[in-house]
Structure 1
Amino acid sequence: MFPLERQKRILDLLMIKKVLKIAELAKELNISVETLRRDINVLASEGKIEKIYGGVKWVESNFGESTIDIRMISRLKEKERIAQKCSEYIHDGDCIYLDSGSTTYQIAKYIKSKKNLTVVTNSIPVVNELLTSDVELFIIGGKIRKNEQSVTAFEFLFNFDELNILKAFICASGITVEKGISDYNLEEAITRKKMIELSKEVYVAADSTKFDKNVTIGIAPLEKIDYIVTDHLPKEIADPFKKTNTSLILAES
């Protein structure tokens, strides 16, 4: 396993468990403690993890929201499966919205061959991914969030009411039955609320770590969400959704 692969695996494990012991990590990765310490030093110098006595811990930044760079490599296999499953609901001739986020970015990779597809987005990585495809692209107007590589919308720069979105694929940092979906950033939340209002069908694309969390800014109750596409969920988390009108779609391996 190459150093970058090991470091990605360390971040994946810490994103779930938050704190891990050195011996536990070395066993999980099947590497020596010396090799592990070199990887830990790299990640710690980049501010992605914090060294503690006998182990390491996940660094929560921006009030709990990790950076887009970290999220782009964290739980990548799960996000790819979710994206592939989402792409099955996108058809030739659709007009869709792809939200800014690491999971919705992956969707762009699976829709390049669709015919007469129109994509509206606020994600610069999504635009870059689809730039050389035949997909018709619209990027919303507003302020660039450089650390998120996204555009947060302003009504005076973009006329939302002219859009006719068939399906919106939205990201979320928190999902609960009681509170619906939530996020850390107010500007991103405002954009997502607007797109949910305009779209005929709303899909939330989020991996399983986002469930049972209600974070800073509420975006929408479950009654406004048609589908949630995620990876494997424990029965005790999935079962309460059966009592709602929101359908859970599991993109399991």
Structure 2
Amino acid sequence: MFPLERQKKIMELLIVKKVLKMTELTNELNISVDTLRRDINSLAKQEKIEKIYGGIKLKESKFGESSINERMISHLEEKQCIAQTCSKFINDGDCIFLDSGSTTYQIAKFIKNKKNLTVITNSIPVVLELLNSEIETLIIGGKIRKNESSVVTYEYLFNFSQLNIQKAFICTSGITIEKGISDYNVEEAITRKKIIELSNEIYVASDSTKFGRDVTVGIAPLEKVDYIITDQNLNKTFINEFKKTSTNLIISNSFTH
């Protein structure tokens, strides 16, 4: 295994476990301690990890938001489960919006056999996923946000008033009863606000780790959200609290291949 492959494997393991011991890594990768130290030093220089006594841990993002590459791997089964449930709300002939995010990316994998479907998106991974399908795909115009593989919109590059979006599937970094949904990035939040204004039905696709968090930028209060689709790990306290709101909370079942 080449150094870059090993380092990618180390990052994948860290995203799942957060902290790893040196002995775990040497056994998992079947390499010597000296080789592992070289990989760790390389990752530490890139500020991806932190060395701790007897092991390493994932370096926290300065702004609290993990990268899209990290989120593509973390809680993957839950996200696949949420995406599969979301796909059941998408019908032949619909015009939908798929937001940039690791959960909405998974939705793209489940909708390729839909007939006469139009997908509007600001997610480059979603575009690439649908590239060889029969689905009509429109990408909004704007600035490429490289670390998210997304496009953050500018009004003068895209004529939003012409869109007729029936269902929008939105991602979020935080959900609370009091403040609704929120995100770390201002530009992403502006795009989501615009899409929420234009769409007939709003679906928030979010794994259970986002509940109870109110992060940097508010996107919309709960009354603007029709459905929140999440996984089975959601705390029962939140389930009871949502019964008092107008938002439909849907707990997805187990992922089926």
TM-score greater than 0.5 by the shorter chain:
yes
User: Measured at CA, do residues 92 and 22 of structure 1 come closer, stay the same or move farther in structure 2, by a change above 3 Å?
Assistant: same
Seen in structure 2, the aligned counterparts of structure 1 residues 57 and 7 have a Cα distance that, compared at 3 Å, is: closer
Query: Equivalents in 2 of 1:134, 1:240: separation in Å?
Result: 41
Q: Which residue of 2 aligns with 1:193?
A: 193
Q: Does 1:209 align with 2:209?
A: yes
C-alpha displacement of 1:242: 1.2
- Cα contact 1:22–1:33 (8 A) shared by 2: no
Specify whether residues 92 and 32 from structure 1 end up closer, same or farther in structure 2 by C-alpha distance, changes over 3 A only. closer
Correspondence for 2:21: 22
**What one-letter code is carried by the residue in structure 1 that aligns with 2:21?**
I
Q: Which range moved further: 159-168 or 66-75?
A: 66-75
1:124-149 CA-to-partner distances (Å, cap 9, x unmatched) read 11111101111011111111111111
Percent of aligned pairs with the same amino acid = 62
Cα deviation digits, residues 3-45 of structure 1 (max 9, x gap): 666752431232xxxxx4739x94xx9x579869749837656
1:48 is displaced (CA, Å) by: 3.3
1:1-253 aligned at under 5 Å gives the runs: 7-14=11-18, 20=19, 22=21, 26=24, 38=36, 41=40, 44=44, 47-232=47-232, 233-253=234-254
Question: What code does the residue aligned with 2:127 have?
Answer: V
The superposition leaves residues 38-71 of structure 1 with CA deviations (integer Å, 9 ceiling, x where unpaired) of 4983765654332222454332225011111111
Specify the SS of the correspondent of 2:90: coil
Label 1:68 to 1:224 Cα distance change in 2 as closer, same or farther (>3 A): same
Q: How far apart in 2 are the matches of 1:164 and 1:211?
A: 30
Whole-Å Cα distance in 2 between the matches of residues 248 and 43 of structure 1?
40
Instruction: Count matched residues.
Output: 244
Aligned to 1:17: none
SS of the residue 1:112 aligns to: coil
The verdict on how the C-alpha distance between 1:127 and 1:108 changes in structure 2, with shifts beyond 3 A counting, is: same
* Larger Rg, first or second structure (1 or 2): 2
When structure 1 is superposed on structure 2, of 242-251 and 35-44 the one drifting more is 35-44
CA RMSD, Structure 1 to Structure 2 (Å): 2.6
Aligned residue for 1:243, secondary structure, equals coil
AA aligned to 2:79 is: K
Structure 2 unaligned spans of 5+ = none
Q: Structure 1 CA distance, aligned partners of 2:125 and 2:188? A: 16
Aligned-pair CA distance for 1:86: 0.6
Query: Which shifted more, 187-196 or 241-250?
Result: 241-250
Work out whether residues 95 and 117 of structure 1, in 8 Å CA contact, stay in contact via their aligned partners in 2.
Answer: yes
User: For residues 33 and 104 of structure 1, do their structure 2 counterparts lie closer, same or farther at Cα, with a shift above 3 Å needed?
Assistant: closer
Q: Following the alignment from structure 2 to structure 1, what is the Cα–Cα distance between the partners of residues 144 and 29?
A: 42
Q: Which amino acid aligns with 2:12?
A: K
Return the alpha-carbon distance in structure 1 between the equivalents of residues 142 and 249 of structure 2.
Answer: 32
Deviation at 1:239, TM superposition (A): 1.7
Q: Report the Cα distance in structure 2 between the residues aligned to 1:213 and 1:223, rounded to whole angstroms.
A: 17
